[in-house]
């Protein structure tokens, strides 16, 4: 009996076991003020809506086009003034980053990323058996450039960083790249459109730099799953080769079509990012007034800590009031909340609730 059971369980020894990434909650209840996953509170461009209404049903019988041969690649190339061959398009930037880990971090040496950062990086590293080491941010949650100057198997960090919102200047990023010409450096610019300076121009100078961006935050299209990477033709060719070895058609027809409209509507994009940034600047005043401190944020979120009330308690009490924010019970950040910038109305409701909780 015992023996039989052992044999029966044997297959389990050879399973790829991973601890998956845990995204923020998506509540069923639509009345919740949802400030927990950095989604954009405004809808996508009205041009996206028009294109959706005009979409040809019959086209769905066919496989979509290869992403790099689409109008979306052309629209992005035009917007960012680079060649189409310097763009890789994927199923959200999580797909792009995951493929980039699989493609570029093969040396067997540990890759480096900050201790406080996007909590998907260690998941991909474990999944693909990429060794990694983290480097502690300084006491102001800033990346210490010197920490990235030892031999390594690659470097990845978000800029602005998540969940802190702290931006590293382009000169500093360039120092990291300069010191790491023998590996691939990935800069995850998921939040760059909210006031940061992109490192994209550096891709013309450094063929080992991959800049990753997304439609999920600044273009209000998290549900459509569109992400992209920009870099040298060589980098893009390598990631495409891997992608076509996993799944040729990650991008669905609708996403490829609707993405074009979002990129073309530059005026709407600027206006929508401008609104978020104005609300964020007001939020800085309000949070200060309410007794919070925070690092200077360049994202569509703020990372706040109260001088008296523990973050966990605020998190729970906000939740009882149907206001969702993000809390991590994790060393160094367990007294912080990450609050997505919502509409002005949503933020007013948040301040009112916080006055009661922290007042």
Ligand X SMILES: *Cc1c(COP(=O)(O)O)cnc(C)c1O
Is there a contact between 38 and 340 (Cβ–Cβ < 8 Å)? Answer: yes
Closest by Cα among 344, 346, 254 to 56? 254
Least distance from ligand X to the Cβ atom of residue 255, Å = 11
Least distance from ligand X to the Cβ atom of residue 227, Å = 4
Least distance from ligand X to the Cβ atom of residue 126, Å = 17
| Residues linked to residue 293 through DSSP beta bridges, in sequence order | 305
Cα–Cα distance for residue pair 163/166, rounded to 1 Å: 8
Burial zone of 6 (CB within 10 Å; 0-12 exposed, 13-18 middle, 19+ buried):
exposed
Q: Of 67, 154, 227, 231, which lies in the binding site for ligand X, with binding defined by CB under 6 A? A: 227
Measured from the CB atom, is 145 or 222 closer to ligand X? Answer: 222
Least distance from ligand X to the Cβ atom of residue 2, Å = 46
**Interaction mask 263-302, ligand X, x per CB under 6 A:** ----------------------------------------
The SS3 call for residue 157 is: strand
Q: Which of positions 109-168 make contact with ligand X (CB under 6 A)?
A: 118, 158, 162
Strand locations in 223-291 (E): 227-230
Q: Of 40, 86, 216, 232, which lies in the binding site for ligand X, with binding defined by CB under 6 A? A: 216
Instruction: Based on the shown chain and the rule CB under 6 A, indicate whether residue 39 belongs to the binding site for ligand X.
Output: no
Least distance from ligand X to the Cβ atom of residue 90, Å = 8
* Phi (first) and psi of residue 273, to 5 degrees: -65, -40
Q: What share of the chain is helix, strand, coil (3-state, %, to 5)?
A: 45, 15, 40
Instruction: Based on the shown chain and the rule CB under 6 A, indicate whether residue 189 belongs to the binding site for ligand X.
Output: no
Q: Which of positions 65-94 make contact with ligand X (CB under 6 A)?
A: 92-94
Enumerate binding residues for ligand X (CB under 6 A).
Answer: 38, 92-94, 118, 158, 162, 188, 190, 214, 216, 222, 227
């Amino acid at each position: 009996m015992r023996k039989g059971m052992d044999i029966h369980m044997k297959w389990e020894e050879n399973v790829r076991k991973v601890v998956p990434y845990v995204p923020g909650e998506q509540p069923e209840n639509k009345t919740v003020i949802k400030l927990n996953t950095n989604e954009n509170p405004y809808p996508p461009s009205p041009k996206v809506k028009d294109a959706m209404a005009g979409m040809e049903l019959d086209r769905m019988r066919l496989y979509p086009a290869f992403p790099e041969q689409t109008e979306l690649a052309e629209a992005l190339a035009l917007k960012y003034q680079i060649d189409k061959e310097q763009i890789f398009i994927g199923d959200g930037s999580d797909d792009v980053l995951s493929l980039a880990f699989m493609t570029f971090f093969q040396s067997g040496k540990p890759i480096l990323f900050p201790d406080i950062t996007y909590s998907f990086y260690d998941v991909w590293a474990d999944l693909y058996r990429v060794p990694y080491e983290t480097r502690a941010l300084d006491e102001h949650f800033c990346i210490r450039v010197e920490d990235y100057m030892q031999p390594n198997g690659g470097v990845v960090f978000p800029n602005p960083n998540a969940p802190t919102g702290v931006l590293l200047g382009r000169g500093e990023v360039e120092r990291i790249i300069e010191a790491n010409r023998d590996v691939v450096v990935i800069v995850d610019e998921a939040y760059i459109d909210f006031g940061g300076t992109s490192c994209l121009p550096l891709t013309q100078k450094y063929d080992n730099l991959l800049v990753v961006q997304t439609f999920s935050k600044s273009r209000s299209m998290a549900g459509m799953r569109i992400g992209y990477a920009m870099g040298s033709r060589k980098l893009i060719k390598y990631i495409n080769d891997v992608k076509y070895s996993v799944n040729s058609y990650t991008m669905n027809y609708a996403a490829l079509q609707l993405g074009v409209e979002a990129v073309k509507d530059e005026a709407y994009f600027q206006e929508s990012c401008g609104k978020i940034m104005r609300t964020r600047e007001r939020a800085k005043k309000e949070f200060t007034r309410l007794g919070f401190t925070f690092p200077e944020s360049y994202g569509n979120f703020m990372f706040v800590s109260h001088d008296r009330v523990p973050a966990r308690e605020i998190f729970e009490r906000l939740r009882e009031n149907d206001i969702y924010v993000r809390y991590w019970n994790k060393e160094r950040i367990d007294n912080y909340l990450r609050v997505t910038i919502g509409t002005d109305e949503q933020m007013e409701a948040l301040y009112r609730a916080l006055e009661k909780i922290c007042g």
